[in-house]
Chains A and B, each alone.
Chain A
């Protein structure tokens, strides 16, 4: 145990001084296979990269929502003990802004990503890809962002235009990232 620690420490020191990247990778950890990366690679970017195959409608989503989400978020996505998911449009510049998926979220991809990684709160990751599309469609349709019969899918989710898409102003220093590497 102790000998192992020192060997690794010495190894580490040599690697730092050598600072060559090609040989280092083999010394710590192990290569990640594409199959196992796929198990954990759950993020979805605004351009839709990362969306899984699948799709669903608000009608299907409503059934799932009532069973697995409404207890906390209220029937129809409001009036629950936890975050309100609907409404609030036109309030952002008022004294009492109401920030919801409908009034505030700039990307539908963020909604899919968030539900997939974090909801339902007690059992994150328990929805299938189709179910996640369906509840996403339901929340979007509650906010009148997509029609009720719209089939939300991998192919079209990134094109859904959110009402507050232009509502964010990034700090200038993080618009173009440069570094001296």
Chain B
């Protein structure tokens, strides 16, 4: 049987690099860099390929995976100690995150729920408390929406001092973009007849911790909230809330309760642990900012980025930008540490509250420098530089880090994280 991948000599001749050795500065430095000595005669001959299958595994030449991590600075941990798993932003192209590489964060592992036994209880200040099955939800009218989801802890490596060996996966791997499908929250609100005096809704998960958050019933949340049972065209994966989760475009990850089992309507916040002891931001004066629920305008250069290496000459800078306040309208790139800026191209699609891809061609003269991006959204919010950001919020907030990310480049072309 003739199979292209079965000949080890051919494999080595193709000189495909492992993920860690990948140095290509363009996005998706995930596959082998072209071997310079190749002639067309070196390209392996064609032949019948593998059998067709029930689903499509990745090419054996592709090295792409999340990294489970624990608290800030605690990397390369045993999966049992991990509290999140970060997406390889440096290896993505385009704007949609592959389903199995969407970042993950949970408070008590990933429950494996049997959908036939799963129930969603909707009660509190409602005319008719209901028990819903997954079939009920799937029978309701549905909508789909492409939007990002971001953990409020994204960027937390860089609050105080970060090692220069971190990659963009370490610094920014807690944001992803998917198409989410499910029942509009507004439909459910009408269905149970929520009392007009109700202003907050408790959403609770069916995980071990029964993670619960109070959700303010603003027009925006009522209009855009989704009880999602689908991601990227298929049922939710367990890690992302199977069989049903709440999805609130633009709002901090933790509000998007996974494994949703209860919605309770009330007239004040319930003050769970996750809106008091956690997911509140300490200010320099020792008070904590509470209910900072939106993810602010943000961006990061994903290539060249931390631990890559570039060569002098033409380099394409690319990255991702997103804002919980709406559509990204502009991304600027500086190749001199923020002294001068050029407007990057947005390569589309550019959707509200979704990650947008930007790109900028740059010629590196071989001298040490710093590259940085800054984004602007349709409401005019501009991503702050780190110094002004820290001057405003201090370094103890732990969550909602959205300052500009700077990558330093030394004379040998090594790209490293710097706090500038």
Within 8 A of A (CB), among B191-226: 191-194, 196, 199-200, 202, 204, 208-210, 212, 216-219, 222
Q: Is A99 an interface residue (CB 8 A)?
A: yes
Map CB proximity to A onto B284-309 as digits: 1 under 8 Å, 0 otherwise: 11111111110000000000000000
Within 8 A of B (CB), among A51-94: 92-93
Q: Which residues of A contact B (CB under 8 A)?
A: 5, 8-9, 11-13, 15-16, 19, 21-22, 24-25, 28-32, 36-37, 40-46, 92-93, 95, 97, 99, 101, 104-107, 109-111, 113-114, 117-118, 121, 124, 167-171, 173-174, 177-181
Known: A92-B286, A169-B287. A179 touches B262 (CB 8 A): no
Residues of chain A with a CB closer than 8 A to B136's CB = 28-29
Known: A29-B136, A45-B271, A124-B208. A97 touches B282 (CB 8 A): yes
- A181 and B186 CA atoms in complex are apart in Å by 10
- Checking A8, A25, A93 against B130 with a beta-carbon cut-off of 8 angstroms, the contacting residue is A25
17 additional contacts, CB 8 Å, given A28-B132, A169-B287?
Answer: A16-B141, A21-B191, A28-B130, A29-B132, A31-B129, A31-B130, A32-B130, A37-B121, A45-B271, A104-B277, A105-B276, A110-B276, A168-B287, A169-B283, A171-B289, A174-B293, A181-B222
Interface size of B by Cβ–Cβ distance < 8 Å? 64
Contact of B139 with A181 in the complex, beta carbons under 8 Å: no
Please indicate which of the listed interface residues A43, A99, A109 has the most CB atoms of chain B within 10 Å of its own CB: A43
- A171 and B210 CA atoms in complex are apart in Å by 25
Tell me, rounded to whole Å, the shortest Cβ–Cβ distance linking B56 to chain A: 27
Tell me, rounded to whole Å, the shortest Cβ–Cβ distance linking A16 to chain B: 5
Tell me, rounded to whole Å, the shortest Cβ–Cβ distance linking B379 to chain A: 13
Contact of B219 with A179 in the complex, beta carbons under 8 Å: yes
Contact of A37 with B129 in the complex, beta carbons under 8 Å: yes
Total of A-B residue pairs, C-beta within 8 Å? 172
Q: Is B416 an interface residue (CB 8 A)?
A: no
Tell me, rounded to whole Å, the shortest Cβ–Cβ distance linking B120 to chain A: 8
- Checking A11, A43, A179 against B270 with a beta-carbon cut-off of 8 angstroms, the contacting residue is A43
Q: Is B112 an interface residue (CB 8 A)?
A: no
13 contacts between A and B (CB under 8 A): A21-B190, A25-B128, A32-B130, A36-B121, A40-B121, A45-B266, A45-B268, A92-B286, A95-B395, A104-B277, A114-B277, A117-B212, A181-B189
Known: A28-B139, A124-B209. A107 touches B130 (CB 8 A): no
Tell me, rounded to whole Å, the shortest Cβ–Cβ distance linking B133 to chain A: 7
Tell me, rounded to whole Å, the shortest Cβ–Cβ distance linking B82 to chain A: 14
User: Quick one: closest B residue to A16, CB to CB?
Assistant: B141
User: Quick one: closest B residue to A106, CB to CB?
Assistant: B276
Known: A37-B129, A169-B290. A177 touches B141 (CB 8 A): no
